[in-house]
Amino acid sequence: MTTEFYFTPELRLKDGRVIRDIEDAFGFAREQEPRPGVDQRDAAHLFLRWLEELEILE
C-alpha cells in the first residue's frame, strides 16, 4: 500500500514546472542524477559548495 503525499501549496519551480505530489518530486530528483561525464569528484565538489552556501560547515 502506498501513501499519497501532496505538497500544499504546490512547489513552483523557476523553469515553470510545478511539483504537486511525491511522484513529481521523484521525477525531478531522477532528472538531477549525474549525467555521463559527471563523476563522483564533481558531485562531491557540488555537495561541498551547497553546504558552504547553507553556511552549516564548521
pLDDT in tens, the chain (58 residues): 667 889 999 999 999 999 999 899 988 888 887 776 667 777 788 888 888 998 887 7
* Residue 1 within any structural domain of the chain: no
The tally of domains found in the chain comes to: 1
At residue 43, what is the residue type? Answer: A
- pLDDT at residue 2, as a whole number: 65
* Residue 30 within any structural domain of the chain: yes
Question: Could you list the residue range(s) of the whole structural domain that residue 27 is in?
Answer: 6-54
- pLDDT at residue 1, as a whole number: 62
- pLDDT at residue 29, as a whole number: 85
* Residue 21 within any structural domain of the chain: yes
Query: How, if at all, do strands 18-21 and 6-12 pair?
Result: antiparallel
Q: Is the peptide bond before 9 cis (omega within 30 degrees of 0)?
A: yes
First to last CA, the chain: 42
